[in-house]
Every structure is written in C-alpha cells, then in structure tokens.
Structure 1
Amino acid sequence: MTPNAASATSAPGRRGSPSRRSFLASTAVAAAAVAGGMPLLSACGASDSGSGGGTSGGKGETKLLPTYVANNVVTPDIPAKNGSAIGFTGKTDLAALKTSVPKKLGKGGKVTIMSPFWGSPPKSDNAYYRAMNDMIGVDVVWQNQDGNTYDQKLGAVLASSDVPDVVVVPSWNMGGKIPTAIINKFADLGPYLSGDKVKDYPNLAAIPTDAWRRCIIGGRLRGLPQPAPYVTGIVPFYRKDIFDKQGYHVPRSADEFTALCKEITDARAKRWACMDMKWTAFQIFGVLSGSEKPLGWNLVDGKMINRIETEEYLEALEWTRKLFAAGYVHPDALMGKNAPDPGPKFAAGEFLIYPNNISQWWSRTAEQAAQNPSYRIWGMDIFGHDGGDPRLWAEQPAGIFAFVNKKASESVIRDVLAVANVTAAPYGTKEYMATNYGVQGADYTVRNGVPVKTTQGNNEVLNAYVMVASPAATEAHPDFPDVARAQVEWQQRMGAFTRKSSFYGQMISEPDRYTDLGNDFEQLEDDITRGRKKISDMQQAVSDWKSKGGDRLRDWYKKLLDENGTAAG
C-alpha cells in the first residue's frame, strides 16, 4: 500500500511505495527490486578453504519455518496469484476497519530499534510514536540512522558490544562481515515462532512461508521479514495517453520495439523513444536475475551456469546498444547511473518509455494528477524477444529484515514480537491504518474517502514501524484504485511466465575471496550499450572472470546445491 496518498515520494522498503530497490536493481550494486540487495548469509553448507560462505533456507530446514495460517480478518479484492501481491481496489472506510490484534501483547517493556532512515528523522516524542506504542503496549525507542550510509553504521555497531535490542538490515547492506555478525549477535527466534508456536502471533503466522525461509540464517530462524512479490518489480512504463493519441501500438517483440522507437524519435523536436532499456532487455531475452548474486546462478543440464555466461546476456546488451546507436535513447541516459530523475521529462513527453520499479506506477500518477490530468503512465507486458512468451526469473520473496539481540531477555523478545504482530497486520485493519498513516487529524485527514497525509504525517509516519515486519505484499491505492488493480494484474500475467532459479528463497554467503569478483560487470555493460566498449570486451571479461575464480565459484555453488537442495520447488 502507498502510505501517502498526497505525495509521490515515500519511505524506501515498502513494495507499494517508491523504494530504494528502484535504484539498486542492477548487477553490481545487486539490489532490486524490483525487483534488491546482496543478501549474503550464513555459516552452514559448503565451505571454501576456511574463507566462509554458506547457505540457509534449503528444503532440509523446513522444520524451522513458522506454520502458515491464512489471515481471514480482511479479504482482498484481488487474491495473490503467480507470485503477485494481493490487491485492494476500493476506498478506505475508516468506520469499517477490522481489528486484527484484539488485545495488547506487549508487557510495557522498553525496546530500542536501530533502522535506516531516508530524510530527517522526527522528534522522538511525537503523536505517531506515542499512539503506536500505546496500541502495542511496548515503549519503542527509535535509533534512526542515515539510510544512505547505513552499511557503515551497521558495521560499526555490530562490531561493538553495544547492540540495540532490534537491528533492521536491508538485504543490500548484507555484504562484508555483516553475515557473520548476524549469526553471532542475533537471537534464534525459533523457540517463539517455528511450527505452531507462531500461532500466538496471528499476523506473523499469515506471512508467506517463502518470506520466512529467507530468515533462516546460520541454521536458525533469526529474522522478521518484509515480504515481497517474487515477480520482477521492473516494469517497462509508457505514456499510454500519448500512445492512444498517436495510434502507437504496444510492441510484442524486440523488432517491433525497435520499429516503434524509430517511429517515435524526432531529435529535432526534442522527442526520443525511451531511456536506457537494459533492464527490460535482460527480461525480454530471458537473462537470469542480476538483482542478487545467488539468483544469477542456475543448474542447467547438470551444470551450474551464471547469467554472464549465456548467449541471452550478450544478445540483450547488443540489442540495447543498437537502441543507443540509432539515437532512440534520450541523451540523459548517456550519463548512466548519474542521470537525473526521469519523471519530469517523461511527463513533458521528451521520451515515452522507460523501465523502473513498479512503485512508480502510483507515484508518477499521483505527482501528475493535479497539473496534468490527461497524463497516464502504464506498464507494458514483457514480451519474448522473438514475439513469443517471455521467460522471466523470480526475485527474492523478502528483502528487509529485523533481528533481535542475542542478549535480549525473553520478555524483550516477546515485546519485539508484539510490535511485529501489529506492524504485520493486513490492509483494512485498524493496526495497518495506524502503522502506515498514524493519527487521524494530526498525521492524516480524509478527503472523499481517501486518507491524505498532512505535513506532520509526511515528516513522522515513514521509515518506522513498517521496518520491523510487514504483511503479505499488498497493493492498495485508495486515491487511484485502477493503478492498484493494474499493478497486481500485471504481476499475475508476468508471474505466469516466471521461473525460480536454483537458489531462489535462500540466504547465501559467498566465500570472502569471491566478494569482488563481479564488481566491474555493470560498468562494462553500460560501456558496451553506449558504444564505448564492444561485445568482445564482455566475452574477454567473462573469460577472465572464469580464470580468476568464476569456475571455482561455480563448483562451490554446485556443492552447495548438492548438499542443501533447492527451495525453488
């Protein structure tokens, strides 16, 4: 759900709001979201000469998982299907909100939580924090840290003896020594949540099993997850209003896309067809996911293959290169990752197609609604490059986790779980409304049945309680219900063509010696697509990668799969 119906920007991390995954869904940075991060963990499984590495979450560890019990408090308008989110397409009836936590589970204790925060953290004594703490029965004290430099703070805190009761760790911050620190510093929640024990916390029991599987680290259930759809989160967006007006047809093959680009582009009129389409190219050519290192490996005919070794990978780069070479791509894209926000020029019609996180379906709609009522951003269905069905690859089903200090007493752990049981309440409940909108009158008002954040709400109700745990991935935009429906239905259509690679759903820690092995590939991809390097340079880079450790890493992954199995099903 988009927690803010008035603003087109919101806290990173929620699947239905603008997300850091938008900027991290790329190979070297390895985050996606759309698509997220570099979830590297744990201490069991294959080893590599003492250099660390391993896996958790294989099929052999299913006994550690909480029992799944569907939450029937609220029925979604669109149930989940093919790995999609659930959807709600009506306005919010505040008088009809359900109660999912009938009594306070918190015992009045104090819990400190360190979490990334994007923006200026609010004062600790604000109406939102007070109301949430009273609802839960726990005195939560926030230790907000700058999300842009969170990995540095995280490393320092976990290396110290002064660790807060709860530490939130996004998957993209799980590099270096963080995985080992998580195993050494954080508690096993299995005694409280594994099997039927989770039934003491009904909202946690309703979190999808695959999201919990990602919390198995070092052979223990250690985390509380934010679930996400496993369908790709990167959508090829287009200006449907202009397409309709000009009679452009949505393409169904790579050749049709190229022909459309030629038809649209008129550089003299400052109109180009698209931005950098590399992410979409990887999708239409069926390239394994680059959002997380383990997802880039898959067992094919008994051999472990990496995405960069495939013909599809080279074909996707070559197709993207041709779009640049033909002049169909907006000049801003030549700047690569430092390009300005595409939103304003997309709204101005300077280009008509660009790939980005699915959250922008709502955020771009909301930001243009008042000044540009004819504006309509929409998502293309991904097509196979040859005009057939696409072959898409699943993303990880959770990407942000909260961990509890191993030194925490049982009473503190119980209070943390009380917090999580409220923050994981489903859309349409009082608890969800409080978690995502705050206090009516102070943090939001209601206009025509739509909750709208106030300035105070925009400053306070973000990056907070939602970071502890979340319900099943949800799309709900009471201000633009047609967008929520379109998002979920797009996911369901794309989910029908989505496969799970060998290490889907697991937490993987590669041995330290391979940490930097693939760091240069994203820059090389961009150099090739922009004509600064050639496909042959990529072929040489892949050859070098193999000899410098890629082949040994392949053997390591194969052994890992042999020993632990797959969770892909």
Structure 2
Amino acid sequence: MAALAVSGAGSVLTACGSGGGGGASSREGATAGKALRDLLPEHIPSDLVEPDFAGVDGSSPGFTHLPDPLATSVPEPRGSGATFRVMTPLWGTVPRRENDYYTAVNEALGSTLTFDPQDGNTYQEKIGAVLAGSDIPDAVTIPGWNMQGQIRNAITSRFADLAPYLAGSKVRDYPNLANIPTAAWQYCVFGGALRGLPMPAPVLGDAIFYRRDIVGTGTPPGSADDLLAFGAEYTDARAGRWAFDDLWTGIQKIFGVLPDAPSYWREEGGRLVHKIETEEYREALAFARKLHDQKYVHPDAEANKDADAKMRFTGGQVLMYNDGTGGWKGMVSEQGDDFDMQPVDYFFHDGGAPRLWQDPAASIFTFLNKDLPEEKIRELLAAADFAAAPYGTREFMLTYYGVEGVHHELSDGVPDFSEQGLQEAQPATLVFLASPPHTVAFPDEPQLVEDYAGWMARQAPHVSQPLFFGMQVVEPQRYATLYTPFDDLQKDIRRGRKKVSDLEQAVSTWRNSGGDELRDWYQELLESNGSGN
C-alpha cells in the first residue's frame, strides 16, 4: 500500500528523539504490565444497536440491516467552533477542500476540521517531511507500516500524551471511544504514553477461501491430509486448473506457527524460543514444500505473481487461496449471485482444534499535536468520539456515507452513493480520526454477513494472544536485518530451490549473527515489563 523508505528523512528526523546516542529511552523497548494498564481507557461496550449476530470471544458482530430509526450517540455538537488541521492518508481521488460532506461533518461536530488528505502510496515520504519540520498539523494519521526510520522517535516527541484525558474512567467523557476494545488501545502506547487514537481491527484478518460453487457443499478440508487429498482431486494442469494458490499464510496458521515481530517469541522452560527455531515452523515449511512437489500450486503463484491471485481465484484457475477477509465483500458483489466463496474453518494440521494467534488489534493511529492547549485537545477528542460512533447510529452514517439525499440514497435500508457522494464522502477521511470496533455490516449482502460473522465466531474461541501482544516493541537497529534472510529462504524451500534441512544452518547462522543477543534483549524486556497478554 505504501512505500517503506523515508526519502532523506532519517538524518533530519534524528533530532526528534530524546537523545542521539544508542540508549533505549525512546527508540527501544516497550511498555507493559501495570504501567500499561494504568494508561489504558476503561472499556464500556455500547448497547445502542443490537447486532443480528453477536460477537463471540472478541469476534466481530454482524448486522444485516440498518436500524430504523437510527440510534444517536452524540446528541448535539460538542465543539466550540475551533479550527483544526488534520492530515490523513487517502487511497483514491482527493476530494475538494471545500465540499458539502466536510460542511455537514463540521456542522455536526461544532468544530472546523480542515482535512489535508495525502496520497497513501507516497505517504511515507510526506510524513517524514512534515515531522521533520516545525509546522505539524493538529492531528496526523500514521499507519504502522509507515513508522520507519526515525518516525517512532518523532511520535514520542511531537504528539500529546492522551492519558490525562482518556485513561481509566476519564474516557467516560467520550462514550464512543470507551466502546473501543482494550486490545486496540494497547497498541496506542508509544514511548511510555498513550498517544494514539486507534482504528480497531478484527481478531483474525486472514482466511483460506475456497470456491464452494465449484467444489460443492460437502465438508471442506479439516486436516493437512485433507488438503493433500483436495489437491489431488482438483488439480488438473491440462484443464488449466490447480487446487491451490499460495497458501503460506494459512499453512502457518494450521501448524500453529507464531506471528512476525515482535510476536515471534514464546517461552519454553523459562527461555524464549523464536518462531524459526520451532518444530511448527519446520513442519509448516515441509508441508508447503509437499504441495509444491505434488504440483498442486498454480505456476504463477509459484512465480510470486501475487497481484493476480484474485483473478486466478475468481476465474476458477485455483479453487483455494489465502486472502484478507476485508476483500470478501468486494469479490462477492463483483462476481454476482452464482459466485460462492467461503472460508475454511481453521484446524490444527492433525485434524484437532486450531491454535490461532490474534492479529494486531490496531495498526493505523491518529496523533494529536502536543502543542495544543488542553481545551483544544478535548475538542479534538470530542470530534474523534463522533467519528468512532458505532454502526447503526446517525453519526456513523454521516461519517461513512455523508448526507442522505446529497451523498447517498437509502433503498430498503441499503445506502447507495450518489456521484457527489463518490467524490466527497467515499474517499474516507474523518474515519481516520478514530474508528468504532470492527463489525460485519452489509445490509445489501445479508447472507455474507451470516457467513462472515459466523466464521469468525467459530474461530475466535481458538485465538490466543502471543507473548508480546499489544506492545509497540522497537528492536535495536543493529538487529534490523537479522530476520530478513528467512523471507527468501522460506520461499526457496517452498518452491523447491532449497531443502527443508537447509533451515538448520540458517537458524545456526541467525543465532551466531545476533539472534541469541536479540533473545537476551527480549528476555530482559519481558522480565522488566512483563508480557503483553
């Protein structure tokens, strides 16, 4: 989505950190345990709108229709008329600075937010330049994948500590922010302070999908052996059809492999073990290699042509592929009624219950300028509270769809954007200020809501939080490239260019090149701060 390099910003931003040496005061470490709990807002779930499918163990609730009438979460404008500059990323056409959507939003807020959306594909460079300067907007959205180089240091030095306004029961002044799950707030702690406003994410964001309209309504695979049988049954190279696209993400889940940094550690006998050292990782690689050896994987997937994976799946060239659940709705709507893609219920490779790890609960954050006076911080938090209104409220509809009759029309409870809405309201900007908890809400696709919410509800009881969950861990720069060789190695093994046994030498090299030192660093972090789960 966004470039990962800061063009020329590294040296300029160095001054933003607290101290220019190698210390860990702002650039390395994390906040956890009691220190973390004292910073977090109280969680008070909203009951304004009852879902059609309730969440289970943190899964996303499902809504098949809009309530009529809509609920109200912010009865009247809370702003004082102050003006704020807000910088967000945007993937799409930038709307005009003055338009009916912004006018309606500002009237509802009682404040004037002047949005400055930037191209999300070049946002990294823009953030670097802005944070290196002296003219910082009042609110700045920064996705986690853009926190490269010295940007994390800039976050701790440029943005306000929000704990005095939100920690514990203080969040009750902002009921919609109080509705945001605690796990999402955990990720908002930077440099020992609560600095971010989160965009909450689901407990699981990836699934292995299969074409039920082609393979039928029988029981989908429930073990690694079942997957091999599926591959043998449905792969027919002469007919241009293969059973699988690249399933590596899903394969790791069915073997219980740990996630990536900083959650790639677990404790065994009082010692930290990295994911690459585990038997699960080796077994996952061996199984992925088996799919390659049996020629069950589409050749273009083997050639890393990931951009065409959706087309291979919708075109029937592959019958099972791995993707984020966020794209499910778009594919169903585009393909029509005869198209039926469904997610496989995760399983452990031996056919038992899955051992799943929770995804990060937030990865996009908005920060408030630390130079704002208290009254302006409170006014911006009131605007964020409006933006975080839950599904089924007037505030949610205005935030996401604009003004009825101007930006959208409602037909049988389904909002349909007008041309003006596509230009002004659909390029979402206010949603970045803060967002409600993740929901599955598609009134135009009620069956999809049942399928999606039901799938997540079945997976959620098997989800655990990894050791460093919710912790914004900043590893020492000297270890930055330590894990990089394994990105290439796992592909080489899965694609048949190297042997599974080559993993052993790579792990040995990793240990001797700094892996054991990194282990000690994390061990000290764990002993000093406690875990994040």
Residue number among 135, 140, 147 corresponding to 2:108 in the alignment: 135
Helix, strand or coil for the counterpart of 2:303? helix
Checking the alignment, whether the CA contact within 8 Å between 1:122 and 1:459 is kept in structure 2 is: yes
What amino acid sits opposite 1:352 in the alignment? L
Checking the alignment, whether the CA contact within 8 Å between 1:445 and 1:454 is kept in structure 2 is: yes
Question: 1:419 Cα shift?
Answer: 1.4
User: Within 1, Cα distance between the matches of 2:519 and 2:259?
Assistant: 16
Q: After superposition, where does 1:443-522 map in structure 2 within 5 Å?
A: 443-460=407-424, 461-522=426-487
TM-score by length of 2: 0.93
Q: After superposition, where does 1:226-241 map in structure 2 within 5 Å?
A: 226-230=199-203, 232-241=204-213
Residue number among 304, 315, 318 corresponding to 2:283 in the alignment: 315
Helix, strand or coil for the counterpart of 2:80? coil
Unmatched runs of 5 consecutive residues or more in structure 2: 6-16
CA offset digits 1:250-298 (Å, max 9, x no partner):
11111111111111011111111110111111011110012xx111112
Question: 1:48 Cα shift?
Answer: 6.6
Residue number among 114, 137, 142 corresponding to 1:164 in the alignment: 137
What amino acid sits opposite 1:310 in the alignment? T
Q: After superposition, where does 1:73-84 map in structure 2 within 5 Å?
A: 73-84=48-59
Question: 1:344 Cα shift?
Answer: 2.8
2:325 aligns with 358
User: Within 1, Cα distance between the matches of 2:118 and 2:438?
Assistant: 25
1:67 aligns with 42
User: Within 2, Cα distance between the matches of 1:82 and 1:283?
Assistant: 19
2:13 aligns with none
Question: 1:310 Cα shift?
Answer: 1.0
Checking the alignment, whether the CA contact within 8 Å between 1:289 and 1:296 is kept in structure 2 is: yes
User: Within 1, Cα distance between the matches of 2:23 and 2:506?
Assistant: 24
Question: 1:49 Cα shift?
Answer: 7.5
User: Within 2, Cα distance between the matches of 1:169 and 1:525?
Assistant: 30
Question: 1:534 Cα shift?
Answer: 2.3
1:92 corresponds to 2:79? no
User: Within 2, Cα distance between the matches of 1:102 and 1:57?
Assistant: 36
Checking the alignment, whether the CA contact within 8 Å between 1:92 and 1:428 is kept in structure 2 is: yes
CA offset digits 1:396-431 (Å, max 9, x no partner):
211111000111122321221121111110100000
Q: After superposition, where does 1:256-295 map in structure 2 within 5 Å?
A: 256-290=226-260, 293-295=261-263
Checking the alignment, whether the CA contact within 8 Å between 1:402 and 1:467 is kept in structure 2 is: yes
User: Within 2, Cα distance between the matches of 1:191 and 1:502?
Assistant: 28
Checking the alignment, whether the CA contact within 8 Å between 1:110 and 1:412 is kept in structure 2 is: no
1:176 aligns with 149
Q: After superposition, where does 1:249-260 map in structure 2 within 5 Å?
A: 249-260=219-230
**Which of 277-286 and 194-203 deviates more?**
194-203
1:455 and 1:49, CA in 2 relative to 1: closer, same or farther beyond 3 A? closer
Residue number among 371, 374, 387 corresponding to 1:423 in the alignment: 387
User: Within 2, Cα distance between the matches of 1:456 and 1:528?
Assistant: 51
CA offset digits 1:492-551 (Å, max 9, x no partner):
211211121111122111112112221232222222211122223333222222111111
What amino acid sits opposite 1:183 in the alignment? T
Helix, strand or coil for the counterpart of 2:307? coil
1:548 and 1:455, CA in 2 relative to 1: closer, same or farther beyond 3 A? farther
Residue number among 98, 104, 109 corresponding to 2:77 in the alignment: 104
User: Within 1, Cα distance between the matches of 2:55 and 2:379?
Assistant: 30
User: Within 1, Cα distance between the matches of 2:351 and 2:59?
Assistant: 24
1:544 and 1:456, CA in 2 relative to 1: closer, same or farther beyond 3 A? farther
2:354 aligns with 390
What amino acid sits opposite 1:559 in the alignment? E
Helix, strand or coil for the counterpart of 1:79? coil
User: Within 2, Cα distance between the matches of 1:72 and 1:83?
Assistant: 15
Question: 1:328 Cα shift?
Answer: 1.1
Helix, strand or coil for the counterpart of 2:227? helix
Q: How many residues align?
A: 519
Unmatched runs of 5 consecutive residues or more in structure 1: 1-19, 30-41
Q: Percent identity?
A: 45
Checking the alignment, whether the CA contact within 8 Å between 1:226 and 1:469 is kept in structure 2 is: yes
User: Within 2, Cα distance between the matches of 1:49 and 1:154?
Assistant: 23
**Which of 194-203 and 530-539 deviates more?**
530-539
Checking the alignment, whether the CA contact within 8 Å between 1:425 and 1:470 is kept in structure 2 is: yes
**CA RMSD of superposed structures (Å):** 2.2
Residue number among 374, 385, 410 corresponding to 2:374 in the alignment: 410
What amino acid sits opposite 2:514 in the alignment? G
1:191 aligns with 164
What amino acid sits opposite 2:287 in the alignment? W
User: Within 1, Cα distance between the matches of 2:158 and 2:106?
Assistant: 26
CA offset digits 1:173-223 (Å, max 9, x no partner):
123211111100100111211122211111111111121122122221111
User: Within 2, Cα distance between the matches of 1:198 and 1:493?
Assistant: 32
Question: 1:151 Cα shift?
Answer: 1.8
Residue number among 86, 89, 101 corresponding to 1:116 in the alignment: 89
1:345 corresponds to 2:331? no
Question: 1:224 Cα shift?
Answer: 0.7
User: Within 1, Cα distance between the matches of 2:512 and 2:530?
Assistant: 27
Checking the alignment, whether the CA contact within 8 Å between 1:277 and 1:354 is kept in structure 2 is: yes
1:439 aligns with 403
What amino acid sits opposite 2:143 in the alignment? P
1:526 and 1:438, CA in 2 relative to 1: closer, same or farther beyond 3 A? same
TM-score by length of 1: 0.87
1:349 and 1:433, CA in 2 relative to 1: closer, same or farther beyond 3 A? same
Checking the alignment, whether the CA contact within 8 Å between 1:85 and 1:228 is kept in structure 2 is: no
1:565 corresponds to 2:530? yes
Question: 1:314 Cα shift?
Answer: 1.6
Helix, strand or coil for the counterpart of 1:401? strand
Structure having greater relative contact order (Cα 8 Å, sep ≥ 6) = 1
Question: 1:50 Cα shift?
Answer: 7.9
Question: 1:144 Cα shift?
Answer: 1.4
